Amino acid sequence: MSASEIRPLRVALLGCGTVGGAVLRLISEQAHDLTARIGRPVEVAGIAVRRPAHHPDVPQHLLTTDAHALVTRDDVDLVVEVIGGIEPARTLILAAFEAGKSVVSANKALLADDGVALHAAAAKSGVDLYYEAAVAGAIPLLRPLRESLAGDQLRRVVGIVNGTTNYILSRMAETGAGFAEALAEATDLGYAEADPTADVDGFDAAAKAAILASLAFHTPVTAADVHREGISSVSATDVARAAEIGCTVKLLAICERVPNGDGDSVAVRVHPAMIPTAHPLASVGGAFNAVFVEAEAAGQLMFYGQGAGGEPTASAVLGDLVAVARNRLAGAAGQGPSGYADLAVRPMAETPTRYHVSLDVADKPGVLATVAHAFAEHGVSISTVRQNGRGDAATLVIVTHSAPDASLSATIAALRDMPAVRGVTSVLRVEGLS
């Protein structure tokens, strides 16, 4: 065996926070197994960080602030990018490709923003870009979508892919607390960041939805294509109303193939919704993630596990690292995702959804007829109505059938203007009802 055959595969690590630190530790702890599984030892060639002084626990000779020099070094074979954010991650990944190095990334924002260009650059250089860790942490999801289901036709992918919002909504359901109170608790416990915008307003989930939809439907989808609503307007009333109809409120990332006369389209959206408590996603509590998949032949599948955290995310990074290392030794890059189907992305206004609406109305004859008329006028058909009288006032709780989202929101606007309606106390979409 020549010296070059036993030379270890050398990895450049970009970023050494929670995930990077866990990657570093696992590479060292599992050295024996990684060598056996790859067929060659793996070693860390260098670690790029902004402030070396903040990393007293890692071998100091590996630290560098010059990430660009590190990824292009001749003795580096593979790059692991766990910096996050758009820049400098994008530039560094492209530089790695140019230098012939495969990249494993956990960067959902970048992949959701610019996945097509990055994949094209990887393909041009004949190297790999893998990113299982970018969606739902440790849960094997992208590889099953890309490979295991490659012979099937996907209909829907519905996921709870953000642990922070799932924790907040779980606590609201358990304690009856409002959003602000549950968020404060999540922040205290470290489940929400000091600036919770990315989680609470759905940006994180929207990036993941874009990645999932791209793979599921062989269609380029970016975060900008995703209709996004966060959970800050979910009220304790919404959560209570959900419980009354046997539902629970979850922030869902929903990727659907919508059949169309002149060719299917895809609809991708992130918003809070009521789902029946019997739905497999309803019992996914706290910081866990789960993704529910419906395919023509496979039927219903669910993938469940830890969606964040250093160790779980590092597990997904290392799985990809083994794959790209094997590909490198085999001398061939793996097949990237395909965008051949290139389906149109359907605007939210035209996407079929269902609403749950709760109204305070005057309890007098004809109110239900007036309200029902408003729905009918907008072409929205009603599935169920429940009327609870109380003195001179009453509550109407209405669940609609499926209709274009714009028709539903126009109906709500009309209801708000109606003299017979004293208040629209809760509006939330409903998913998974038969």
Residues contributing to the site for a copy of itself (CB under 8 A): 22, 26, 30, 33-34, 36-37, 132, 138-140, 143-144, 147-153, 218, 280, 283, 295-306, 309, 311-312, 314-323, 326, 330-332, 335, 338, 340-341
Name the strand (E) or helix (H) holding 168. helix 163-175
List CB contacts of 149: < 8 A, sequence separation 6 or more. Answer: 293, 295, 298
Cα dihedral across residues 142, 146, 147, 151: positive or negative: positive
Residue number, 312 or 404, with CB nearest to a copy of itself: 312
Catalytic (active site) residue 124: no
Closest distance of CB 302 from a copy of itself, Å: 4
**In this complex, which beta carbon is closest to a copy of itself, that of residue 52 or of residue 336?**
336
Q: Which residues contact 59 (CB under 8 A, 6 or more apart)?
A: none
126 among the known binding-site residues? no
Give 303 or 418: the residue with its C-beta nearer to a copy of itself. Answer: 303
Q: Would the annotation count 108 as a binding residue?
A: yes
Q: Residue 246 and residue 248: Cα distance in Å, rounded?
A: 7
**239 annotated binding-site participant:** no
CB closer to a copy of itself, 95 vs 284:
284
CB 155, min distance to a copy of itself, A: 12
How far does Cα 289 stand from its chain's mean position? Answer: 9
Question: Is 21 marked as a binding-site residue?
Answer: yes
Q: How far apart are CA 87 and CA 109, in angstroms?
A: 10
18 marked ligand binding residue: yes
Residue 389 in tokens = 């009288």
Min dist. Cβ of residue 174 to a copy of itself (A): 15
Alpha helices in 61-150 (DSSP H): 67-72, 89-98, 108-125, 142-143
Smallest distance, Å, CB 221 to a copy of itself? 17
Interacting residues of 158 by C-beta distance below 8 A, sequence separation 6+? 252, 253, 254, 255, 281, 291, 292, 293, 294, 431, 432
Q: How far is the CB of 131 from a copy of itself (least distance, A)?
A: 12
**156 alpha-carbon distance from chain centroid:** 14
- To the question of whether residue 19 is assigned a binding role by annotation, the answer is yes
Between 207 and 318, name the residue whose CB sits nearer to a copy of itself.
318
Catalytic residue among 124, 208, 250, 364: 208
Helix, strand, or coil (residue 292): strand
In one-letter notation, the amino acid at residue 418 is M
The verdict on whether residue 309 carries a ligand-binding annotation is no
Task: Let me know: does 163 contact 287? Beta carbons within 8 Å.
Answer: yes
Q: Least separation, in Å, of the C-beta of 94 and a copy of itself?
A: 25
- Could you tell me if 83 and 59 are in contact, meaning their C-beta atoms sit under 8 angstroms apart? no
Q: Which is nearer to a copy of itself, 151 or 365 (CB)?
A: 151
Give binding residues for L-homoserine as ranges.
193
Q: Write out the binding residues.
A: 14-21, 108, 193
Just list the catalytic residues.
208
Annotated binding-site residue numbers for NADP(+): 14-21
From the annotation, which residues make up the binding site for NADPH?
108
